[in-house]
Chain A
Amino acid sequence: MSPFTLIKIAFRALLRNRMRTFLSVLGIVIGVAAVITMVAMGEGSKQSIKAKITAMGTNAITIMPNSSFRGGVQLDASSSTVTLEEADVIALREKAQYINGVSPMVTANGQAIVGNKNEAVSLSGISSDYLKIRNYEIDQGVMFDDSADRMAKVCVIGQTVVSTLFPNTDPIGKTIRYKNIPLKVIGTLKAKGSSDFGQDQDEVIFTPYQTVMKRFNATTDIRTIYANSIGEGYASLASEEIMSILKERRSWKEARDPFRVRTQEEMIEMITSTSDLLSLVLTAIAGISLLVGGIGIMNIMYVSVTERTREIGLRMAIGARGRDILLQFLFESVMISLLGGLVGILLGVLATTGVKLFLNWPMSITASSVIVSFGVCFATGVFFGWYPARKASRLDPIEALRFE
Chain B
Amino acid sequence: MNDPILSIQHLRRDFKMGDETVHALRGVSFDVHSGEFLTIMGTSGSGKSTMLNILGCMDKPTSGEYILDGNHIEKLKSDALAHIRSRKLGFVFQSYNLLARTTAIENVELPLLYNSKISASERHDRAVEALKRVGLESRMNHLPNQLSGGQQQRVAIARALVNDPVIILADEATGNLDTRTSYEIMEIFQELNSRGKTIVFVTHEPDIATFSSRTIVLRDGQIKRDTPNGNIQNAHEAFMALPPPETFDDEEESA
Contact = CB atoms under 8 A, between A and B. Distances in A.
The answer on A and B forming one complex is yes
Interface of A: 1-2, 5, 9, 12, 16, 310-311, 313-324, 397-398, 401
Contacts of A1: 113-114, 116
Given A317-B56, A319-B85, 5 more contacts: A16-B101, A313-B97, A317-B91, A319-B82, A401-B97
A321 B97 contact: no
B115 A314 contact: no
Contacts of B79: 321-323
B85 A317 contact: yes
A314 B99 contact: yes
Given A314-B99, A397-B58, A320 B78 contact: no
B174 to A, nearest CB: 18
B159 interface: yes
B91 A5 contact: no
Nearest to A310: B97
B99 to A, nearest CB: 6
Interface string B31-68: 00000000000000000000001001011000000000
B99 A5 contact: no
B97 A398 contact: no
B97 A319 contact: no
A371 to B, nearest CB: 32
B97 A314 contact: yes
B86 A319 contact: yes
Contacts of A398: 53, 58-59
Task: List the 8 closest A-B pairs by CB distance, nearest first.
Answer: A319-B86, A319-B114, A321-B82, A318-B111, A314-B97, A319-B85, A397-B58, A321-B79
Nearest to A394: B78
B83 A311 contact: no
A9 B101 CA distance: 12
B87 interface: yes
Given A397-B58, A398-B58, A401-B97, A316 B82 contact: yes
Contacts of A311: 99
A318 B110 contact: yes
Q: How large is the interface on B (under 10, 10 to 19, 20 to 34, 35 or more residues)?
A: 20 to 34
Interface string B197-228: 00000000000000000000000000000000
A317 B101 contact: no
Nearest to B49: A398
Interface in B66-111: 78-79, 82-83, 85-87, 91, 93, 97, 99, 101-102, 110-111
B56 to A, nearest CB: 7
Contacts of A318: 85-86, 91, 110-111, 114, 159, 163
Contacts of A317: 56, 58, 85, 91
Contacts of B101: 16
Contacts of A5: 113
B114 A324 contact: yes
Contacts of B159: 318
A387 to B, nearest CB: 20
Contact of B116 (A2, A315, A322, A397): A2
Nearest to B114: A319
Most A-side CB within 10 Å, residue of B82, B83, B87, B99 = B82
Contact of B111 (A310, A319, A401): A319
Contacts of B87: 319
A398 B56 CA distance: 10
A315 B113 CA distance: 10
Contacts of B110: 315, 318
29 contacts: A1-B113, A1-B114, A5-B113, A9-B113, A12-B102, A315-B114, A316-B85, A317-B58, A318-B86, A318-B110, A318-B111, A318-B163, A319-B86, A319-B111, A319-B114, A320-B82, A320-B86, A320-B114, A321-B78, A321-B79, A321-B82, A321-B114, A322-B78, A322-B82, A324-B82, A397-B58, A398-B53, A398-B58, A398-B59
B210 to A, nearest CB: 28
A145 to B, nearest CB: 84
Contacts of A315: 110, 114
B160 to A, nearest CB: 8
B55 to A, nearest CB: 12
Most B-side CB within 10 Å, residue of A9, A317, A320, A323 = A317
Contacts of A322: 78-79, 82
A140 to B, nearest CB: 79
Contact of B93 (A2, A16, A401): A401
Interface string B134-167: 0000000000000000000000000100010000
Contacts of B102: 12
Contacts of B91: 317-318
Nearest to A328: B113
Contacts of A320: 82, 86, 114
Contacts of B113: 1, 5, 9
Contacts of A9: 113
B61 to A, nearest CB: 14
B156 to A, nearest CB: 10
A251 to B, nearest CB: 78
Nearest to A1: B113
A197 B102 CA distance: 67
A305 to B, nearest CB: 15
A401 B111 CA distance: 16
Nearest to A9: B113
Contacts of B115: 319
A375 to B, nearest CB: 29
Contacts of A321: 78-79, 82-83, 114
A15 to B, nearest CB: 9
Contacts of B111: 318-319
A9 B102 CA distance: 11
Contacts of A401: 93, 97
A287 to B, nearest CB: 37
